[in-house]
Copies of this chain bind each other. A is one copy, B any other.
Amino acid sequence: QYEPLLAEKDQTRVEIGDDDDSPLPDDLTRDSLELPELSEPELARHYTRLSQMIYGIDSGPYPLGSCTMKYNPKFTEDVAALPSAAVHPDRSERSTQGSLELMYRLQDYLGRIGGMDAVTLQPPAGAAGEFVGIRVAAAYHEHNGEGHRDEVIIPDSAHGTNFATAALGGYDVVSLPSDEDGRVDLEALEAALSENTAALMLTNPNTLGLFERDITEIAEMVHDVGGLLYYDGANLNALLGRARPGDMGFDVMHYNVHKTFATPHGGGGPGAGPVGVVSELAPFLPSPRVRESEDGASEPSYELFEPDHTIGKVHGFQGNWLVLVKTFAYIARLGDAGLADASAKAVLNANYLASQIGYDVPYEPFHHEFVASAGEQDAADVAKRMLDYGVHPPTTKWPEIVPEALMTEPTEVESKATLDRLAAAFNAVADEADGALEAAPNRTTARRIDQTSAARNPRLSWHALEDE
């Protein structure tokens, strides 16, 4: 069952420089390179075996709250694999009209979906999208002579990336507590806002799945002190076709394409985190963006352009292009009705699942996700034990407002039969003793893994193992 490392199967050292056929003098080359040298069948078996030790969305439900793991329609892989999608970033605009058109139309789609006036596709992931948002906000304030604004307000239940991004952008983070209903505490917000406020970063529905009902008021409050309102798109899938960040008063937002539009997560990327802004912020977006060109040809043609006060780039070129192709294809397939249907099913599925499990769900009415409490049980242990029932567990121990949180998001793709299977797993674990939970998992490739040992004695390459 255990699969040896490639290096445990073979290590071949190639000496360089001492043979006749090196085209370079020795002082410009390395001495040798030692890596595994294996045949195609050996490699096929290696990676096939490794793949079989992975739980993917095609293995079963994956109800990671906030992370949002949806089934990825297979056809989007086919369009991203088209040879015509593989072009060099430095190709001329006239020879890449296809790529430009797709980007133009995707910018347009996303603008409509978010209610935003302008969109950049450049950020290669959600966190990079946040960074663009923060940099755009900074540039906007700077441009308006408000460079003194040095605070970003973030609810305490927000994603870690919000905090890290604000810090990377050079901002001081002002943490905002939730009220007893699990939403933004307006009084606390009032107290936090000041002439130093650059922005408030918000997710809506929030990480408890609750809609921030006071969003219009919140927007007014932030705008009144001259701040900007940032929308973290992690939960946009709950609102597709039913409400738009732009209509709620948000000035800038990012889209998580894997969460909202079902591009595959790839075990940790590549993602894409396009950013939409209201028109006042459009001049600050990263460069280049795509627009229709006015060359008067019969077919519309497209060109790259640099926004007037652009912040420049946050990626070498245009981010994760192949992911953008999949995103476009996904949206074009679903259309208005399909998008609205996705949010309907996502919300129905979350509510149905919550109704079927024994764990307490303290906050409601939730939308696409809910946070149950494991109560006396350790949420992390609950997760490990759920693995034994052949399903993936929810996100655990977060947000901290719910003790021993089980943050659960089944998404719209699951059938009732699968939800029932998932509920059965929750309920089986709920009835078990701590001992059973602590001993879990038992039916997985690896049993419970010692995290402390990994961190205390870091072995980060096969070279490090050789010394043992």
Residues of A within 8 A of B (CB): 9, 38-42, 44-45, 48-49, 52, 57-60, 71, 73-74, 413-415, 417-418
Instruction: Report the minimal beta-carbon distance from A71 to chain B, rounded to whole angstroms.
Output: 4
Chain B residue numbers with a CB within 8 Å of A42 are 415, 418
- Rounded to whole angstroms, the CA-CA distance of A41 and B345 in the bound complex is 14
Q: Could you say how many copies of this chain the assembly holds?
A: 2
**In the complex the two chains form, what is the Cα distance from A38 to B71 in whole Å?**
14
Identify whether the interface residues of A are mostly helix, strand, loop, or mixed: loop
A-B contact pairs, 18 of them (CB 8 A): A9-B417, A38-B415, A39-B413, A40-B71, A40-B73, A41-B71, A41-B413, A41-B414, A42-B415, A42-B418, A44-B71, A44-B74, A45-B59, A45-B60, A48-B58, A48-B59, A49-B59, A52-B52
Of all chain B residues, which has the CB nearest A4? B417
Determine the chain B residues whose CB is within 8 A of the CB of A44 once the complex forms: 58, 71, 74
| Chain B: minimal CB distance from A34 (Å) | 18
Nearest 4 Cβ contacts at the A-B interface? A41-B71, A48-B58, A41-B413, A44-B58
* Minimum C-beta distance from A225 to chain B (A): 46
- Note all chain B residues with C-beta closer than 8 A to A9: 417
Beyond A40-B71, A45-B59, 16 additional pairs, beta carbon < 8 A? A38-B415, A39-B413, A39-B415, A40-B73, A40-B74, A41-B57, A41-B58, A41-B71, A41-B414, A44-B58, A44-B71, A44-B74, A45-B58, A45-B60, A48-B59, A49-B59
**What distance in Å separates the Cβ of A389 from its nearest Cβ neighbour in chain B?**
12
